[in-house]
Amino acid sequence: MVERGAPPALSGVRRWVRRVGRVMTSPLLPDDYFALVRPRWAAREATGTVVRVKPQRGDAATVVIQPDFPWAGHTPGQYLRIGLEVDGIRHWRAYTITSDPDHPGGVVSITVKRTEGGRMSPVFTSRVQPGAQVFLGEVEGEFTLPSPAPDKALFLSAGSGITPVMAMLRELERRAALHDVVHVHSARTADDMIFGTMLRGMAERNPGYSLVEVHTAEQPRFHPDDLDRHCPDWRGRPTFLSGPREMIDAVSERFDAEGVTANLHVERFQPVIGVGGGDGQGGHVRFRVTEGEADCDSGVSILVGGERAGLTLPHGCRMGICHSCVGRLRDGAVRDLRTGAVETASGQMVRTCVNAPEGDIEIDL
């Protein structure tokens, strides 16, 4: 099961006021009016404010965010979907949470490596300023430490795959459990290694933490055949793997061949839903309230299709959790992009972020 954080916490009084407000402001929502006065008053979406940006090695940066709601916490190794407005269009990406779970200030940090041609990473690493607003999804991910911590462990990471591993290593150090840990990390050079200084300091402080650096500009890339040399007893260690797809595939195949797949834990972000490339036929959507129309290709959600057509539609988590985007289906059929199930019941409420049209539909939005 994916562990998820809580959406913004509202008191009972505020919930009652908002229910009354929904009636008084229909067909809009109270947040639509709050946003005109002060955007951060709107609780339909979870938001945060950038409070600090700290450059890191390897063309990366750590972005510290103060959530605009009580942070429900996370487990080291989990990730968070972050939304950012770039040139008037909101984009979403998943980033590992690198801050301590019990940070006294309630802040959250992510560490972002710049990707050439990327939409969000160049903004986070060189353009975003303190005071900027970001949108926060839910905490997700099963790539976490077990409790209690294992007696011994192996970590394999490369590039920006260090971020969830770093979160877990810091947690082990806080637990005083870095007593038999081998960590093999690949980076182009020593200077390009994200968290390099912190990891080397950790190795100096903890004799039980063995850091093996593979600098690919000077030596061959890490290969599963190197496991016996770097960690002879790797077959008997819980192993945490985070890195490029080809590395994950190669190591996974080796563990499978050795019959120790149960020991391998792999970081895999859940795919973003509703942006295209999925099953179904797609279709044409007529929005009865906004009086707009949109064409959706296969796998494109009603919400994304409407936004691509220039419409402003209610939305929140974009993952089918918060129900902020719902509208009443008046005609046609929709496909749930998470399960593939097709529904045709006219009058049902549909979450537009995770449902796509199956042919022509009409919806009250």
Mean pLDDT of the chain: 85
Measured CA to CA in angstroms, residue 215 lies from 177, 223, 225, 243 at distances of: 27, 13, 17, 15
CATH 2.40.30.10 fits domain 46-140: yes
Q: What is the pLDDT of residues 310-328, one digit of tens each?
A: 998 887 667 776 667 889 9
What is the pLDDT averaged over residues 10-37? 50
Domain ranges in the chain are 46-140, 153-266, 283-364
pLDDT at 44: 54
Same fold, 46-140 and 283-364: no
DSSP track, 15-64? HHHHHHHHHHHTTS-HHHHHHHH-GGG--SS-EEEEEEEEEETTTEEEEE
pTM: 0.66
For 171, residues 6+ apart whose C-beta sits below 8 A from its C-beta are: 76, 101, 145
By mean pLDDT, which of 8-12, 74-78, 232-236 is the weakest?
A: 8-12
Burial (0-12, 13-18, 19+ Cβ within 10 Å), 356:
buried
pLDDT at 128: 93
- Per-residue pLDDT at 21 exceeds 70: no
Q: Quick one: CATH architecture of 283-364?
A: Roll (3.10)
The stretches of the chain forming alpha helices (DSSP H) are 12-25, 30-37, 121-122, 162-174, 196-205, 227-230, 245-257, 302-308
Q: Quick one: CATH architecture of 153-266?
A: 3-Layer(aba) Sandwich (3.40)
Q: What is the pLDDT of residues 145-190, one digit of tens each?
A: 998 999 999 999 999 899 999 999 999 999 999 999 999 999 999 9
- Per-residue pLDDT at 15 exceeds 60: no
CA dist 318 and 325 (Å) reads: 8
pLDDT class for 5, splitting at 50, 70, 90? very low
pLDDT class for 118, splitting at 50, 70, 90? confident
In single-letter form, the type of residue at position 217 comes to: A
CA dist 150 and 154 (Å) reads: 10
Task: Give which of 72, 157, 132, 60 is closest to 108, Cα–Cα.
Answer: 72
Q: What is the pLDDT of residues 80-104, one digit of tens each?
A: 888 888 887 777 788 999 988 877 7
Percent of the chain topping pLDDT 70: 83
Q: What is the pLDDT of residues 266-314, one digit of tens each?
A: 986 555 666 666 678 999 999 999 899 999 999 999 999 999 999 988 8
pLDDT at 140: 83
Q: What is the pLDDT of residues 196-241, one digit of tens each?
A: 999 999 999 999 999 999 999 999 999 999 999 999 999 999 999 9
pLDDT at 16: 55
Q: Which residue has the tokens 């949470």?
A: 97
**β pairing state of 209-215 and 181-187:** parallel
